[in-house]
Amino acid sequence: QSVVTQPPSASGTPGQRVTISCSGSSSNIGSNTVNWYQQLPGTAPKLLIYNNNQRPSGVPDRFSGSKSGTSASLAISGLQSEDEADYYCAAWDDSLHGPVFGGGTKLTVL
């Protein structure tokens, strides 16, 4: 059971906007930045959002991140079939002295 909580699943239709939530505590999200990762089947995780809301080069601006207090969220607008993947949030935890990951959210594009 992860100390950072994500919904196990989410879904949307093409073109729709979906959001994925990530809930933590004062020792992780509340005091450190949040990263989001996309993992396509059979591949390594790919950094999607870093420092709460920054996109690495090459990540479409359809993906956006936000953080408030001990929670964060990932928004995907203009949903596309290729967005079907597992999404993970993560933040450094000051108590565990390491990054903690959410349990992951499986996004299905209907």
Partner 1 sequence: EVQLVESGGGLVQPGGSLRLSCAASGFTFSTYSMNWVRQAPGKGLEWVSHIGISGSPIYYADAVKGRFTISGDNSKNSLYLQMNSLRAEDTAVYYCTAYSTSSLIEFWGQGTLVTVSS
Which spans of this chain sit near partner 1 (rule: CB under 8 A)?
A: 2, 33, 35, 37, 44-47, 50-51, 54, 56, 88, 90, 96-104
Tell the smallest beta-carbon distance from residue 6 to partner 1 (Å).
9
Decide the pairing of beta strands 98-101 and 71-76.
Answer: unpaired
In sequence order, which residues have a C-beta less than 8 Å from that of residue 34 and are 6 or more positions away?
A: 22, 49, 52, 65, 67, 72, 89, 90, 91
For tokens 């996004």, the residue is: 107
Of the pair 12, 103, the CB lying nearest partner 1 is at 103
Of the pair 79, 102, the CB lying nearest partner 1 is at 102
Of the pair 32, 71, the CB lying nearest partner 1 is at 32
